[in-house]
């Protein structure tokens, strides 16, 4: 009855993730077939990554927090604050390394303060991070109401650094080869992804996130330091928001008080589409990665279909989120019924 070869059924986490990946691939193939155009070029995918590296990073952080049963809606505002701070710092003659440290420090500060309030004073995470969001937004505006452009030679080098892959490129109308381009930010995002993946899959701490999200009381009884674990989840999420801010700066090269507006909601959407449950305990960085890509793809498809007005993107995003949540609850309830 218990042979080593027994194939375990997919866990909820794996099942939801698989669904997302399948839907993403299906959707992309469909777009290639029907819309053609840009979707036929590899650059389309790279562009999606280039444009959304910071969203992916933020979503990864949020996934950790959500697996632990929490929520952090300050991530977008912290990203924005980091962008503005880095731009101003660089323009006043700061160094590139200094700006990286600054970005991480800002994220860390938010992570620590919010994490302490949520874990040790047991204040509702929604309220704490809502306050954090207002605080960061307000502070961004104080730093500068007007858009600021980076004017820093060293940073410009970093910003322009791109990996070019000629064989994945395409020939433009005039016959010139346009190589596929990947920005540095994408590699940062990939690095974050790998680290988060390792953390959640192979580290004791990662399992502890799942444990406290699955059943907090049980986790305590199992000898897990619940408060500390939760604190760390917010701390990591904060740091990732800081890194996301730096990547954002590299991508846009400018700071603006409305940067990353609504990013927290897109990050939550990415996590959910990727199979993370708001109730905690279920989630996966791979799912989140594809969740972010799915979200982006649908927006691209909307734009390519000629629906250029911005509300169409919002409407489809909303519709898709509903669809995924519905799908998840149907799949999960089917499963628990079958078990009985």
Partner 1 sequence: MQTDPLLQMRHIVKIFPGVLALNGVDFTLRKGEIHALMGENGAGKSTLIKVLTGVYSSDGGEIKVDGQVISIKSPQDAQNHGISTVYQEITLCPNLTVAENMFIGREDSVWIKRKDYEKKADEILSNLGIPARSTQELGNCSLAVQQMVAIARAVDMKCKVLILDEPTSSLDDKEVNMLFDLMRDLKSKGVGIIFVTHFLEQVYEVSDRITVLRNGELVGEYTVEELPQVELVSKMIGKELGELSSMGEHEEAEENKKEVFYEAEGLSSSDALPFDFKIRKGEVNGFTGLLGSGRSESVRAIFGADKVTGGNVKINGKKVSITKPIEAMRNGIGYLAEDRKRDGIIADLSVRENIILALQVMNGILRPISRSEAESYADEYIKMLNIKTASRETPVGSLSGGNQQKVILARWLLTHPEYLILDEPTRGIDVGTKLEIQKLVLKLAEDGVSVTFISSEIEEMLRTCSRLVVMRDRHIVGELKGKDLNQTKVMQTIAGGESENEDKQ
Query: In this chain, which of 213, 245, 255, 287 binds partner 1, going by CB under 8 A?
Result: 213
Query: In this chain, which of 16, 136, 282, 301 binds partner 1, going by CB under 8 A?
Result: 282
What's the min distance (Å) between Cβ of 284 and partner 1? 12
Cβ-based nearer residue to partner 1, 141 or 225: 225
Q: Does 29 participate in binding partner 1 (rule CB under 8 A)?
A: no
Q: Does 146 participate in binding partner 1 (rule CB under 8 A)?
A: no
The span from the CA of 232 to the CA of 211, in Å, is 14
The span from the CA of 276 to the CA of 332, in Å, is 12
Collapsing DSSP to helix, strand or coil, 274 comes out as coil
Cβ-based nearer residue to partner 1, 218 or 258: 218
C-alpha distance from residue 83 to each of 90, 165, 183, 244, 245 (Å): 11, 29, 17, 9, 5
The span from the CA of 129 to the CA of 275, in Å, is 22
Q: Does 337 participate in binding partner 1 (rule CB under 8 A)?
A: no
Query: In this chain, which of 180, 211, 250, 295 binds partner 1, going by CB under 8 A?
Result: 211
Please provide residue 206's backbone torsions phi and psi, each rounded to the nearest 5 degrees: -60, -45
Q: Does 63 participate in binding partner 1 (rule CB under 8 A)?
A: no
Q: Which two tokens stand for residue 7?
A: 């194939």
Cβ-based nearer residue to partner 1, 209 or 248: 209
Q: If 0-12 CB within 10 Å is exposed, 13-18 middle and 19+ buried, where does residue 20 land?
A: buried
Pattern of binders to partner 1 over 262-281, x per CB under 8 A? -------------------x
Q: Which helix (H) or strand (E) holds 171?
A: strand 162-171
Q: Does 105 participate in binding partner 1 (rule CB under 8 A)?
A: no
Cβ-based nearer residue to partner 1, 185 or 281: 281
Residues at the interface with partner 1 (CB under 8 A) = 1-2, 6, 8-9, 11-13, 201-208, 210-211, 213-215, 217-225, 281-282, 339
């Amino acid at each position: 009855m218990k042979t080593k070869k027994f194939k375990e059924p997919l866990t909820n986490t794996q099942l939801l993730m698989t669904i997302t990946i399948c839907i993403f691939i299906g959707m992309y193939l469909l777009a290639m077939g029907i819309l053609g155009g840009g979707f036929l070029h590899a650059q389309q995918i790279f562009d999606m990554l280039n444009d959304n590296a910071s969203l992916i990073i933020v979503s990864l952080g949020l996934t950790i927090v959500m697996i632990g049963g929490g929520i952090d809606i300050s991530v977008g505002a912290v990203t924005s604050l980091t962008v503005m701070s880095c731009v101003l710092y660089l323009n006043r003659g700061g160094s590139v390394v200094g700006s990286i440290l600054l970005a991480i420090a800002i994220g860390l500060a938010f992570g620590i303060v919010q994490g302490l309030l949520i874990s040790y004073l047991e204040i509702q995470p929604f309220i704490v991070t809502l306050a954090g969001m207002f605080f960061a937004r307000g502070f961004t505006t104080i730093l500068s109401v007007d858009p600021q452009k980076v004017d820093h030679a060293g940073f410009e080098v970093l910003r322009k650094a791109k990996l070019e892959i000629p064989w994945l490129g395409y020939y433009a109308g005039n016959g010139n080869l346009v190589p596929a381009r990947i920005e540095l930010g994408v590699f940062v995002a990939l690095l974050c992804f790998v680290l988060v993946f390792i953390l959640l899959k192979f580290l004791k701490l990662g399992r502890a996130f799942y444990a406290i999200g699955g059943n907090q009381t049980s986790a305590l009884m199992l000898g897990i330091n619940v408060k500390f674990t939760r604190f760390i989840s917010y701390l990591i999420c904060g740091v990732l928001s800081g890194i996301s801010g730096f990547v954002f700066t590299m991508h846009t090269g400018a700071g603006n008080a409305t940067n990353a507006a609504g990013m927290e909601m897109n990050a939550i959407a990415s996590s959910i589409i990727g199979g993370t449950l708001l109730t905690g305990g279920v989630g996966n960085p791979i799912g989140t990665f594809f969740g972010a890509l799915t979200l982006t793809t649908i927006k691209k498809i909307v734009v390519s279909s000629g629906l250029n007005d911005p509300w169409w993107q919002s409407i489809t995003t909303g519709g898709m989120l509903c669809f995924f949540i519905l799908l998840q609850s149907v799949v999960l309830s089917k499963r628990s019924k079958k078990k009985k």
